[in-house]
Chain A
Amino acid sequence: MSSLKQQQPAHLLRGIPLAVQQLKKTFGSREVLKNIDLHIPAGQFVAVVGRSGCGKSTLLRLLAGLDKPTAGELLAGSGKLVDAREDTRLMFQEARLLPWKKIIDNVGLGLSGDWRSQALDALEAVGLAERADEWPAALSGGQKQRVALARALIHQPRLLLLDEPLGALDALTRIEMQQLIENLWRKHGFTVLLVTHDVSEAVAIADRVILIEEGRIGLDLLVDLPRPRARGSHRLAALETQVLERVLSLPGTPPEPEPVSPLPTQLRWAN
């Protein structure tokens, strides 16, 4: 494995093409995802938006293999997505760094052999190389998420799944992180699925915005704007309005918790 900084041959960099076929997921009697069909070409940056509880995080957890679908197929190219587990990396809402490991050791989690120089390169790519030997407790929220990004990138993923990783960050840090993720995506060419509740973030960063409503795809919108995109341009605003109008046209579902339990045991859904 060569370092992240070096240019890789293009075929190693290309993302996974993703196909979701008639995907269903139920928790008890509650149907969270109903017949999702989705094709994502290799290397596309897709943002998934929707009201809370619409099932967008569930979709991501299914893609990440953290939950099993009730019915339907998840395909990566011609094979099954399960077989591409090593090429798939997930970034969570919280950074989830191990507090008892130095930052560089967090980045190298799960790696064997001589990974330290790679880890330094990955930290360099997110601008935190000089903090490598500190404890995670010393970092701010945004810096922790950048370490989590480095931890995902060191595996050279072909599919990067982002579960609202910027949700807890302040506005300026968010924009910085969005640009960082966009730049790394352009450099490495992996496929990205970003779940977010922020429609303006979605249209600003993604190639394509998918709206999930009550477990179905409600809107599938291509954002065909050149990059780098100027924030606050009227075309972005027009797209944002289009998505928001659709979101708000449906009466709001009564507030229900996001159907994702942080417990691997899914105890909350046992009854």
Chain B
Amino acid sequence: MSTHASQQFVQRLAPWALPILLLAIWQLSVSAGWLSTRILPAPSAVIAAGVNLVSSGEIWTHLAISGWRAGMGFAIGGGIGLALGFITGLSKWGERLLDSSVQMIRNIPHLALIPLVILWFGIDETAKVFLVALGTLFPIYLNTYHGIRNIDPALVEMSRSYGLSGFSLFWHVILPGAMPSILVGVRFALGFMWLTLIVAETISASSGIGYLAMNAREFLQTDVVVLAIVLYAILGKLADLAARGLERVCLRWHPAYQVTKGGAA
């Protein structure tokens, strides 16, 4: 092959060089005994723990329950946030009645409510879903409201003069106009979703990835603890990819999201 192709190959690999080097140093320092496995297990040990949990099938139950909590919380919180955003964005009275109240509640850090939530719901599923819903509600609410308020009034005026009103105005003009902002809210909300779930599962759970980590800590299984952290990272990345995919589909018209040849962002 030509030198040009091999050059390209090297360029593709270059970003991976540092992470691979760090992993190698990490592995080496554990094998050489410079780093105690009580502080950090070797990467190979983490992989082994992963293989172990996969083969026993245990990991899937934990993943499923964590995914369910995250999904339910996001659906409930996001749905309420979207609905409230539409109400305050579309109606002057809705804004007057609701916006300042929602903004006040928004200022309470939702994780500060954990003791109260445990008193209300105990430590069962409702508590975790409630916390995730609370964490995802506000980013979606704020961005939906903001998106609707920032639609070009000239476009709304034009659409009205072409006979659009009520639901057709909402569907053809307001919703797509607010979509870029709503999707920014979705991305923020997905970040809050995992963050909230990690905290909630770490504090009180009898299943899920957070439970896996806390349980392993009791038995000094650092490899499983690190594995749980890696799992959270992968799930976060997957959620982010999903949000980006949604942006690509919903914002095809937007010059900033158009996939150009050779430079997919």
Contact = CB atoms under 8 A, between A and B. Distances in A.
Interface string A88-102: 011010101011111
Nearest to A137: B255
Contacts of A265: 153
A241 B161 CA distance: 36
B159 A109 contact: yes
A110 B253 contact: no
Contacts of A90: 161
B45 interface: no
Nearest to B255: A137
A69 interface: no
Contacts of A65: 161
Contacts of B255: 137
A262 B154 contact: yes
Contacts of A98: 155, 159, 172-173, 176
Contact of A66 (B157, B163, B254, B258): B157
Contacts of B173: 98
B155 A96 contact: yes
A97 B127 CA distance: 47
A99 B159 contact: no
B162 interface: yes
Range class of the A interface residue count:
20 to 34
A151 B162 contact: yes
A263 interface: yes
A110 B164 contact: yes
B239 interface: no
Contacts of A135: 252-253, 258
Contact of A100 (B154, B161, B164, B176): B176
A94 B152 CA distance: 12
**Residue among A110, A262, A264 facing the most chain B CB atoms (10 A cut-off):** A110
B114 interface: no
Given A98-B155, A262-B153, A264-B156, A64 B161 contact: yes
Interface in A93-135: 94, 96, 98-102, 109-110, 135
Contacts of B41: none
A60 B173 CA distance: 24
Given A109-B162, A109-B164, A110-B164, A99 B253 contact: yes
B158 A96 contact: yes
Nearest to B158: A96
A263 B149 CA distance: 12
Contacts of A151: 162
A264 B155 contact: no
Contacts of B160: 264
Interface in B155-212: 155-164, 168, 172-173, 176-177, 179
Contacts of B172: 98, 101, 109
Interface string B70-102: 000000000000000000000000000000000
Nearest to B163: A110
Q: Which 7 A-B pairs have the closest CB atoms?
A: A100-B176, A110-B162, A96-B158, A110-B163, A100-B253, A135-B253, A137-B255
26 contacts: A65-B161, A89-B162, A96-B154, A96-B158, A98-B176, A99-B253, A100-B177, A100-B254, A101-B176, A102-B253, A109-B159, A110-B159, A110-B162, A110-B164, A135-B252, A135-B253, A135-B258, A136-B253, A137-B253, A137-B254, A137-B255, A262-B153, A262-B154, A262-B157, A263-B153, A264-B157
Interface of A: 64-66, 86, 89-90, 92, 94, 96, 98-102, 109-110, 135-137, 151, 155, 262-265
Given A92-B154, A264-B157, A265-B153, 18 more contacts: A66-B157, A90-B161, A92-B158, A96-B155, A98-B155, A98-B172, A98-B176, A100-B179, A100-B253, A101-B176, A109-B159, A109-B172, A110-B159, A137-B253, A137-B255, A151-B162, A263-B153, A264-B160
